[in-house]
Structure 1
């Protein structure tokens, strides 16, 4: 009966075979074709069209529910309305960039589309007059995004890889970041007329490499076997997390120096105290999270992920409330690293939950950063000095990376590849860039807002310039420079969930 039904739909198909087995096979094939046709039909809609309509109706219903509960907050001009507009605009911008495919060119990171969506909202007056986000909301969201970044960094650190590559990994984690920070401080002092403490603050904003660009590119090379014999993808993935920690710690140190009235020595001692407190709290909370919840509980992965997220976000916000700048980030990193070391392979499920959480905060983070940059407030001279400072600091970073890799057993072309792979910037710049401006506004220091705005501008330009170019350089040069060997499984297993970090 099913065969005859399919035959009626498509009479050109030869189903009337004398072989019953052939009839059954052909009938099954035609049934699958009919299912595919119905999936793509439009009356009633199926597939992509059905999903779009369903999601649209769901959004309308949710908006109606929020309107009934919160009133004018979800109407144009309300705080929640502005947040929703930024989120969906950034999300759409990222999806549009994902759809852009140029032959022989690696895909661009979606975060670039999110950043440009926020920038567009900010500089279209008709739209921006209805978008208002309180600074407290914006600050809390960015701190939460930073916490998620550090959780993923801690969970992704592979103790075995770090032990095997500890010398090279430590040089790659600390050296380029510190040298770029010092170079940016030097050039910004003479080109942008920054005080030295502001120069170092800017330097550590720029010093962080972006796992959002480096890690997916390295995993793609690893899947195809490029550079795996010498462990280049493993090295860059492991070092990218450590590099971010160095940059964030240095930024918090100089942020406290810039906005404190005490002496430099007292501020440095205060920062060291905060580091000690952060590590101590991280160890204590890490021991707790290793054994609670216990392995015999139901929905263990979700419980672990929720506890890690809630404890780390509470630690970051709580440390900020008590003035322990930087301590919360160290608590997060130490806690997640200790938890991952205890859970071993079970941490992959926790990584997936944290990755899904990051997918929500990523559009908010880059959308909010884009809305901070106004074309009207930018001067051509300011942009020129910012680009010059960024370019010179990047050049110093590339040269330092190449020099530090000269002490490892890499060929000349491999050193060039590692040096050029170490330039992309995105996530940490999006978090740290606006913090100085928010702090200046919070402490009522209008004389410092000009420096803070320049820091914000340089961070924005760093993402805009280095993220796409870094992704293109890695994707194009990797297959041409690196030797191709057998695919290594553990890196993909341990780090597959870093794709959107």
Structure 2
């Protein structure tokens, strides 16, 4: 019984165990089936997420590695390159701020006073002066280049018919006001400032020269707008300006030689005459050369003519300074440009346009460097008041003399007044020769001569500060109001009834037209 009961128990337990295993297996299979049913879709939807989550760390690490390698390969600029970029950005930012405030006034061809003021700040503001060094040699070279360009423009703008008609008036305007102002300033400075007679005439000839850098651009703009063209007023003033400067430089050199006993008086006078004759002859030769070369069959004719013209002009000015005949270079430049334009006739217009663009670049350089020649510390307070009195007296006498000398030139009252006002500005010659007397006095080591030289430099500085911006403003305001305007017939408006002459229309006293000066 016991054995049978034991066997029966074992069979039941085996069957139960098999049933349990079957149930467990079925549950496992059911779980696997459920897992397949529920998990597989989730795994399909999550596979992109898993792949992205798996790829993100690798992509971030690769980006970081590339950035690190790029940083290693391209380090930040340091040293002089960093300093250069910083200064360029500062200057660009400064110009941008000024441009947003002033608008067109800070662009090339803008206000002359702003250019002078910029140069004045470069020289006299402490931190700016320490940061920016202006070499005197390069400053003089750039000013001479700008002077040669503006004289080239003057030569291209001369009207041969008006010049032939006004040659007598041109000589009177060039010689009379310069000589009279020099003598008046010499007398007044002798009694007010206590200068010796020789030093008084040195000061007089320094102050007597008119500035072509102020007069010529203004006359060219008036001529382009048609003001005073019928009477040849722009041509008269542009031509007379060069002769006026030569006369003033000759008188200054003669008196300076007497004061420091460098050569005889007659040799200095003869040198001045040689400058005039040599400048005219050299200008005629170079002008005829430009008429023939380059020929009309060459390519890029306008560009080659412009380069030849500017190259010869700059070469003439610098060569005359090297050989000691400073006045001859200016006159040579004026004559060669005039003769070249006379030969080119109507083909000179594109050349004049390119030269005008060159002047837009060098005009701020010229007046900025002229302003940089002014050192406020060099101005003696005791000399400023009496010096301004000398300058004003000389300007008033110059104004009256100019008005009288053009009395028989066929001009009306308004035109005479305009010519007198336009003959006042001073800048270029005063900046060029104002300090020469002081330099020679310092070489001598004489304290009295150094004081006289400082007085001359002080008055030259005052003349630039007062007459250059005021003269340019006076020309700009008086030109459209005092001069007759000559325009083409198709430019008349509002049904006006102008008088016709030679196919053009004469509009008298057109002061309402907007002036670009």
Spell out the pairing of 1:65-464 with structure 2 (5 A cutoff). Answer: 99=104, 110-210=111-211, 213-214=214-215, 231=231, 234-255=232-253, 257-259=255-257, 261-434=262-435, 450-464=451-465
Q: Go from structure 1 to structure 2 and tell me whether the alpha carbon gap of 1:153 and 1:86 turns closer, same or farther (over 3 Å shift).
A: farther
Q: In structure 2, how many angstroms separate the alpha carbons of the residues matched to 1:94 and 1:249?
A: 41
8 Å CA contact retained: 2:421, 2:474 = yes
- RMSD, aligned CA: 4.2
Q: Go from structure 1 to structure 2 and tell me whether the alpha carbon gap of 1:435 and 1:94 turns closer, same or farther (over 3 Å shift).
A: farther
> How many correspondences in the alignment?
412
1:87-141 per-residue CA deviation (whole Å, 9 max, x = no partner) reads 998999899767469xxxxxx9622101111111222111101222222212222
1:309-331 per-residue CA deviation (whole Å, 9 max, x = no partner) reads 22222222223223233232232
8 Å CA contact retained: 1:218, 1:236 = yes
Q: Go from structure 1 to structure 2 and tell me whether the alpha carbon gap of 1:420 and 1:316 turns closer, same or farther (over 3 Å shift).
A: closer
Q: Which has the higher contact order (CA 8 A, sep 6+)?
A: 1
TM-score (norm 2): 0.67
The worse-fitting range, judged by mean Cα deviation, of 143-152 and 205-214 is 205-214
Question: 3-state SS of the aligned residue for 2:377?
Answer: coil
8 Å CA contact retained: 1:93, 1:114 = no
8 Å CA contact retained: 2:119, 2:370 = yes
Once the two structures are TM-superposed, the CA of residue 300 in structure 1 deviates from its matched residue by: 1.2
Once the two structures are TM-superposed, the CA of residue 292 in structure 1 deviates from its matched residue by: 0.8
Once the two structures are TM-superposed, the CA of residue 294 in structure 1 deviates from its matched residue by: 0.9
Once the two structures are TM-superposed, the CA of residue 218 in structure 1 deviates from its matched residue by: 5.7
Once the two structures are TM-superposed, the CA of residue 238 in structure 1 deviates from its matched residue by: 2.9
Once the two structures are TM-superposed, the CA of residue 237 in structure 1 deviates from its matched residue by: 4.3
Once the two structures are TM-superposed, the CA of residue 304 in structure 1 deviates from its matched residue by: 1.3
Once the two structures are TM-superposed, the CA of residue 500 in structure 1 deviates from its matched residue by: 11
Once the two structures are TM-superposed, the CA of residue 368 in structure 1 deviates from its matched residue by: 1.9
Q: In structure 1, how many angstroms separate the alpha carbons of the residues matched to 2:470 and 2:206?
A: 19
Please list every run of 5 or more consecutive structure 1 residues that lacks an aligned counterpart in the other structure.
1-63, 102-107, 493-498
The worse-fitting range, judged by mean Cα deviation, of 170-179 and 148-157 is 170-179
TM-score (norm 1): 0.69
Please list every run of 5 or more consecutive structure 2 residues that lacks an aligned counterpart in the other structure.
1-76, 492-501, 505-514
8 Å CA contact retained: 2:199, 2:255 = no
The worse-fitting range, judged by mean Cα deviation, of 295-304 and 347-356 is 347-356
Residue matched to 1:40: none
Q: In structure 1, how many angstroms separate the alpha carbons of the residues matched to 2:452 and 2:94?
A: 29
Residue matched to 1:466: 467
Q: Go from structure 1 to structure 2 and tell me whether the alpha carbon gap of 1:218 and 1:251 turns closer, same or farther (over 3 Å shift).
A: closer
Q: Go from structure 1 to structure 2 and tell me whether the alpha carbon gap of 1:255 and 1:406 turns closer, same or farther (over 3 Å shift).
A: same
8 Å CA contact retained: 2:162, 2:235 = no
Once the two structures are TM-superposed, the CA of residue 486 in structure 1 deviates from its matched residue by: 5.6
Once the two structures are TM-superposed, the CA of residue 395 in structure 1 deviates from its matched residue by: 0.3
Once the two structures are TM-superposed, the CA of residue 383 in structure 1 deviates from its matched residue by: 1.2
Q: Go from structure 1 to structure 2 and tell me whether the alpha carbon gap of 1:238 and 1:403 turns closer, same or farther (over 3 Å shift).
A: closer
Residue matched to 1:34: none
1:316-355 per-residue CA deviation (whole Å, 9 max, x = no partner) reads 2223223233232232222222212111222222222222
8 Å CA contact retained: 1:94, 1:111 = no
8 Å CA contact retained: 1:365, 1:430 = no
8 Å CA contact retained: 1:119, 1:373 = yes
Once the two structures are TM-superposed, the CA of residue 397 in structure 1 deviates from its matched residue by: 0.8
Q: Go from structure 1 to structure 2 and tell me whether the alpha carbon gap of 1:469 and 1:254 turns closer, same or farther (over 3 Å shift).
A: closer
8 Å CA contact retained: 2:150, 2:216 = no
Question: 3-state SS of the aligned residue for 2:385?
Answer: helix
Question: 3-state SS of the aligned residue for 1:376?
Answer: helix
Residue matched to 1:27: none
Q: In structure 2, how many angstroms separate the alpha carbons of the residues matched to 1:196 and 1:86?
A: 47
For the pair shown, which has the larger CA radius of gyration, 1 or 2? Answer: 2
